[in-house]
Amino acid sequence: MKLGLIGASNIAEVRMIPAFRENGHEVIAVQSGGQSRADEFAAKNDIPNATTSIDELLALPGLDAVYISSTNEKHFDQAMAAIKAGKHVLCEKPLAMNIADAVRMVKAAEDAGLVFATNHHLRNGANHRAIRDLVQKGEIGQVLSLRVFHAVHLPEQLQGWRIDNAGAGGGVILDIVVHDADTVRFYLDEDPVDVVAQATSGGLGQGVEDSVMSVWSMPSGAQVMAHESFTHAHAGTGIEIHGTEGSIIAREVMQGPGGEIMLRRGKEVTPVAFDPEEVYPRSARLFGAAVEGKGQPAATGRDGIASLAVALAVAEAARTGQRTAVDYGEK
C-alpha cells in the first residue's frame, strides 16, 4: 500500500511511519501547513514528496490511502477531501469536533466503498485483548462495574495545543476519554447510554480541562467509572472489571503494550499471561489488510464515532452538571 501522511505530527514520526514500514507499506508523501516544515519532516523521515497542498498529495500516482494525524479540528475537512479523491483513510482520534461531522465522514467513506479506520491503538494491545477474552468467555460472570484509571502526567513535549487550544480540540476529554470509551466498548460490546461528570483545570490546562471524572451507565446495567488527567505524575494506570463470578485487575495497561493482569475469585488470584506486542504495527497491519479487502480494521469509523460521542457527552455533563444522554448521531 502507498500512503500519504496528512499532518507532520509527532505520532506519525514516532509511531506510525515505523508501523507502516514494518508492514511493508510505503510512505510516499507528507502534507503539512508549512512548506519548510513539510520539507524538514520529509527529509528526516525519508519521505520522497513534501507539500502544503492536500490536492497535490491526493493526486500522486499510485496513492492508495492517507493517514490523518493533524490537530483535531482539521480531521474532518482533510478526511472529506481524501474520500472525495477515492482514498482509504486511517484517521486519528477524535475523528472530529462534533458528531455530525464524524458521521458525515464515516458515511461518505462507506458510500464510496472505502475503508475508514480510527487509530484507537489500545484495543490492538494483547493486554486489552486478553482482558476482553476473559470478559467475553464469562470468566467473571455478569459484569457489574468497571473502573478505568487513566490519570497520567502529560509529557513536556506534548504540552502544546493539548493544554491551551480548545479550538484545536485540546483538553483531556478529547485526548484520553475517547481512548477509554473505545476500550470499554471493546471489552463489553455495548455503548454507554448516559453519563455524569465533573472536570477541572488543575494547573496545566489553560482554558481547557486537564482532569475529569465521570460515571457512565451501560445498557446491561453495568456502571463504568472513568478518571482521566494530564496532571497526575504518580498515579499509574489500570482497569478493574468486577463481575458476579470474579474480578479482573489490570495495572499499567493504559499507556503501553505491557502491564500486569490478574483474575481474582475470592482470595484466589491468578496471573493472566499475554504477549506484550507493540500496538501501532497491528493497527497499521489490519488497516492495510482491510484496504486489500481482507477483514476489518482494528477500530472502524463507527467505533470512532461512538468513542467521540461518549467524550462529547462527558464534556457536556461536566459543563452543565446534568446527567447527559450520549448522542451517537445517525447510527
Of 120 and 227, CB closest to ligand NDP:
120
Q: Shortest Cβ distance from residue 309 to ligand NDP (Å)?
A: 16
Of 67 and 149, CB closest to ligand NDP:
67
**DSSP per residue over 45-58, as a string?**
HT-SEEES-HHHHH
CA angle 161/162/165 to nearest 5° reads: 50
Rounded to 10 degrees, the C-alpha dihedral 59/63/68/73 comes to 20
Of 87 and 121, CB closest to ligand NDP:
121
Distance CA 219, CA 230 (A): 30
The three-state secondary structure class of 310 is helix
Q: Shortest Cβ distance from residue 279 to ligand NDP (Å)?
A: 8
Options 2, 21, 37, 265; binder of ligand NDP; rule CB under 6 A: 37
Of 184 and 218, CB closest to ligand NDP:
184
Identify residues 205-264 at the interface with ligand NDP (CB under 6 A): none
Options 7, 171, 238, 259; binder of ligand NDP; rule CB under 6 A: 7
Of 71 and 229, CB closest to ligand NDP:
71
- 212 vs 52, 175, 208, CA distance in Å? 36, 11, 11
Options 87, 90, 117, 119; binder of ligand NDP; rule CB under 6 A: 119
Of 93 and 132, CB closest to ligand NDP:
93
Distance CA 225, CA 145 (A): 8
Radius of gyration of the chain (CA): 20
Options 69, 124, 237, 300; binder of ligand NDP; rule CB under 6 A: 69
Options 21, 56, 80, 160; binder of ligand NDP; rule CB under 6 A: 160
- 29 vs 4, 75, 196, 273, CA distance in Å? 5, 17, 43, 40
- Asked if 38 contacts 12 with a C-beta cutoff of 8 angstroms, the reply is no
Q: Shortest Cβ distance from residue 136 to ligand NDP (Å)?
A: 24
Q: Shortest Cβ distance from residue 187 to ligand NDP (Å)?
A: 18
The answer to whether 9 contacts ligand NDP (rule: CB under 6 A) is yes
- Type and span of the H or E element at 187: helix 178-188
**DSSP per residue over 15-30, as a string?**
IIHHHHHHTT-EEEEE
Of 71 and 324, CB closest to ligand NDP:
71
- Asked if 307 contacts 179 with a C-beta cutoff of 8 angstroms, the reply is yes
Stretch that binds ligand NDP, among 7-15, 195-203, 236-244, 313-321 (CB under 6 A): 7-15
Identify residues 76-105 at the interface with ligand NDP (CB under 6 A): 92-93
CA angle 86/89/93 to nearest 5° reads: 150
Other CB atoms closer than 10 Å to residue 53's CB: what's the count?
Answer: 11
* Widest distance between CA atoms in the chain: 62
- Asked if 276 contacts 282 with a C-beta cutoff of 8 angstroms, the reply is no
Q: Shortest Cβ distance from residue 119 to ligand NDP (Å)?
A: 4
The answer to whether 282 contacts ligand NDP (rule: CB under 6 A) is no
The answer to whether 18 contacts ligand NDP (rule: CB under 6 A) is no
Options 25, 63, 70, 324; binder of ligand NDP; rule CB under 6 A: 70
The three-state secondary structure class of 207 is coil
Identify residues 140-159 at the interface with ligand NDP (CB under 6 A): 158
Site residues, ligand NDP (CB under 6 A): 7-11, 32-33, 37, 69-72, 92-93, 119, 121, 158, 160, 175
